[in-house]
């Protein structure tokens, strides 16, 4: 049985002026699974994420969502599909509280006034559904939160909108051990709740702890897409640093991906 991926990218090219950053990139992400996107600094991961989120438009290639070809040229297009991105440089406003951040730009209104109680209830329900318990008050300013709590709010914001695909660009990069464990648990829970999740991480332990599939980019090209259970830490590190590893490499990009 071949399952249709929630997201399937094929042949994605992206240049900035004369510099081509993405070359013929492929990526598939499936509902109920965490797909890790790995690659060295500058490999093109964040650029690919911005193409998924509509911040950049790809120069060439196919963007299929739930099997249908779609056009995504703005964050609005992505949001309409149910695609939510938590960017590497977190877009939270320090001077606003948790509820205000989660509804920023998409506030609920009753007539002309903001419907604070509904927003607060929805924010609380979302955090509860994700079993987030470390946040004391929803009316706390984001500036008073720890790094892990900020990530949690950013992730909860992403899943508030009936999203189908959530992409997290290095959510644990700035976190300590305990907070990393909490965020990874949350990432796993998103997938277990049926979402397709793409997780970018440089940390192989994190990648193997939560991922079902691993996609590696090397110098802006797809080095491999494999099931996590078909690859070792060492092989993934080799894919990241040299673009191939034994039989995993450009000739075998579909290995495991279609199974």
Ligand X SMILES: Nc1ncnc2c1ncn2[C@@H]1O[C@H](COP(=O)(O)OP(=O)(O)OP(=O)(O)O)[C@@H](O)[C@H]1O
Which residues lie near ligand X (CB under 6 A)?
16, 19, 21, 39, 41-47, 88
- The answer to whether 40 and 65 have CB atoms below 8 angstroms apart is no
Q: Which stretch binds Mg ion (CB under 5 A): 87-95, 111-119, 226-234, 237-245?
A: 87-95
Site string for Mg ion, 40-79 (x = CB under 5 A): -----xx---------------------------------
Q: Kindly tell me which of 124 and 237 has the beta carbon lying closer to ligand X.
A: 237
86 φ, ψ to 5°? -105, 105
Residue 28 touches Mg ion, criterion: CB under 5 A: no
Residue 172 touches Mg ion, criterion: CB under 5 A: no
C-alpha dihedral (138, 141, 143, 148), degrees to nearest 10:
0
Helix, strand, coil share (%) of the chain residues, nearest 5:
35, 25, 40
Residues in the chain: 259
Q: Kindly tell me which of 103 and 218 has the beta carbon lying closer to ligand X.
A: 218
SS3 181: helix
DSSP annotation of 97: B
Q: What's the min distance (Å) between Cβ of 158 and ligand X?
A: 18
Give the sign of the dihedral formed by CA 236, CA 237, CA 240, CA 244.
negative
Residue nearest to Mg ion (CB): 46
**Could you tell me the CA-to-CA distances from 105 to 95, 195, 200 in Å, in that order?**
15, 23, 26
How many Å separate Cα 63 from the centre of its chain? 16
Q: What's the min distance (Å) between Cβ of 49 and ligand X?
A: 7
Q: What's the min distance (Å) between Cβ of 65 and Mg ion?
A: 23
- Residue 159 gets the label, from left (phi > 0), alpha (psi -120 to 50) or beta, of alpha
Q: Which stretch binds Mg ion (CB under 5 A): 86-94, 106-114, 214-222, 236-244?
A: 86-94
Q: What's the min distance (Å) between Cβ of 127 and ligand X?
A: 28
> Residue 42 touches which of Mg ion, ligand X, none (CB < 5 to 8 A by kind)?
ligand X
Q: What's the min distance (Å) between Cβ of 69 and Mg ion?
A: 27
Q: Which residues of the chain form contacts with Mg ion (CB under 5 A)?
A: 45-46, 88
């Amino acid at each position: 049985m071949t399952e249709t991926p929630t997201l399937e990218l094929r042949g994605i090219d992206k240049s900035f002026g004369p510099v081509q950053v993405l070359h013929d990139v492929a990526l598939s992400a499936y509902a109920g699974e965490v797909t890790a996107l790995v690659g060295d600094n500058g490999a093109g991961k964040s650029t690919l994420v911005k193409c998924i989120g509509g911040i950049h438009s790809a120069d060439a290639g196919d963007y299929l969502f739930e099997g249908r070809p779609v056009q995504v040229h703005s964050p609005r297009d992505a949001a309409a599909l149910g695609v939510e991105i938590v960017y590497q440089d977190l877009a939270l406003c320090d001077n606003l509280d948790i509820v205000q951040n989660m509804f920023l730009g998409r506030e609920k209104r009753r007539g002309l006034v903001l419907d604070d109680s509904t927003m607060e209830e929805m924010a609380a329900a979302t955090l509860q559904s994700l079993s987030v318990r470390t946040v004391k008050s929803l009316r706390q300013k984001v500036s008073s939160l720890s790094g892990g709590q900020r990530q949690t709010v950013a992730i909860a914001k992403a899943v508030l909108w009936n999203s189908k695909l959530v992409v997290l660009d290095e959510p644990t990069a700035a976190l300590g051990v305990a907070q990393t464990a909490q965020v990874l648990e949350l990432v796993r829970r998103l997938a277990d709740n049926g979402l397709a999740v793409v997780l970018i991480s440089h940390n192989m332990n994190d990648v193997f702890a939560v991922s079902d599939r691993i996609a590696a980019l090397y110098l802006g090209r797809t080095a491999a897409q494999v099931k996590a259970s078909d690859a070792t830490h060492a092989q993934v590190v080799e894919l990241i640093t040299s673009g191939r590893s034994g039989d995993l490499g450009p000739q075998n990009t579909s290995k495991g991906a279609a199974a």
